[in-house]
Amino acid sequence: MRQDILRRLFTLHISMDEIKPLIWRRLLTDSSTTLFELHNYIQLMFTNWRNYHLYLFIKGGVDFGDPRLWEEEDVIDVKTIRICNLLKEEGQTINYQYDPGDYWQMTIKLESILWDKERNYRKPVCLDGENSAPPEDVGGVGGFEEFKKVIADPLHPQFKEYKTWAGRSYDPLKFNLKKTNQRLGLRKSYIFEYNLGIDVPQYTPRLV
C-alpha cells in the first residue's frame, strides 16, 4: 500500500438517522481502517449495543458485509475494503445499517482528511459525541421513542420494568467520552472475541 495513504487520518462524523435529538460520534482513525474494523469501532462507541446482530455498509447501491453472516453472494467482504477505498473527498458519505429487526440506519460522513507524517496517531480516537445509543432490541425508532417516554415518567405502569430491562443508569442524553475511548482501547480483544464467536457458533462473545 502506498505510504501516503497510510499517513492519512480521516475524521468521520457518524450519526443515527431519524432520531432526535441527534445521536452521533466523531471518530479519528487511519484511512487504512477496514470496514470490518470500523463496524467494531461503531459498536464500541455506541456503548449500549452488543454486536449481536447483522450489519451492512452501503455505498452506491453496493452492499459490504461479513460473508460469514450473510448468505447472499453479492455481499462484498468488509475485511477487504478500507475506508479510503470508498471515501476519497471531504463531504462524501457511506451508510451503515445494524440489526435488520430494529433497522438502525446511520450516516458516516468524511469531515476532514489530515496528514500524520510522524505517525503520532496509531489508534482510533473518539473526539466527541452526544447522547446515548438506544438499547438493543428496543423496537427501532418508534420503539425507542416510546421507551424514552416511559422512562421519563416514574408514574408510568411500565417504568420499573423498562428501567430494569435497560439498566437503571441508562440515560438517553448521556455520553461519556472517557468511557468511550476506554472501550476503543479494548478493540483488539473485542474483535478477537467477536471473530471467535462467529467461528465457534456455541460461543457467545463477551462484551469487554
- Cα distances (angstroms) measured from residue 53 to each of 15, 41, 80, 87: 19, 15, 21, 25
Domain count, the chain: 1
**If pLDDT is split at 50, 70 and 90, which confidence band does 112 have?**
very high
CB of 138 closer than 8 Å to CB of 48: no
**If pLDDT is split at 50, 70 and 90, which confidence band does 202 have?**
very low
Whether 86 maps to a domain, the answer reads yes
pLDDT computed for residue 207 by the predictor: 40
Q: What average pLDDT does the chain have?
A: 90
Its domain, for residue 26, covers 3-131+175-195
- Radius of gyration of the chain, Cα coordinates, nearest whole angstrom: 18
Going by C-alpha positions, the residue among 133, 137, 166, 139 that lies closest to residue 152 is: 166
Segment 115-151, tens digit of pLDDT: 877 666 678 999 999 999 999 999 999 999 999 999 9
Whether 83 maps to a domain, the answer reads yes
Whether 99 maps to a domain, the answer reads yes
Q: Compute the half-sphere exposure of residue 202: CA atoms within 13 Å on the CB side of its CA.
A: 0
> What CATH number does residue 41 fall under?
3.10.290.30
What are the grid coordinates assigned to 122, written together?
496509531
Whether 141 maps to a domain, the answer reads no
160 contact partners, CB below 8 Å, separation of at least 6? none
Whether 34 maps to a domain, the answer reads yes
**If pLDDT is split at 50, 70 and 90, which confidence band does 199 have?**
low
Q: Is the dihedral of CA 50, 100, 106, 120 positive or negative?
A: positive
Question: Which amino acid, residue 155?
Answer: L
Whether 159 maps to a domain, the answer reads no
Taking 90 as the threshold, does the pLDDT of residue 53 lie above it? yes
What are the grid coordinates assigned to 45, written together?
462507541
Angle at 85 between CA 41 and CA 24, to 5 degrees: 35
Whether 162 maps to a domain, the answer reads no
Please state which of the ranges 5-14, 101-110, 199-208 shows the lowest mean pLDDT: 199-208
Whether 144 maps to a domain, the answer reads no
Q: Compute the half-sphere exposure of residue 157: CA atoms within 13 Å on the CB side of its CA.
A: 0
Q: What phi and psi values does residue 115 have, to the nearest 5 degrees?
A: -110, 135
Going by C-alpha positions, the residue among 11, 17, 21 that lies closest to residue 174 is: 21
Q: What is the pTM of this model?
A: 0.90
Stretch 21-27: mean pLDDT, rounded?
Answer: 98
CB of 46 closer than 8 Å to CB of 92: no
**If pLDDT is split at 50, 70 and 90, which confidence band does 92 have?**
very high
Segment 154-196, tens digit of pLDDT: 999 999 999 999 988 999 999 999 999 999 999 999 999 889 8
Taking 90 as the threshold, does the pLDDT of residue 23 lie above it? yes
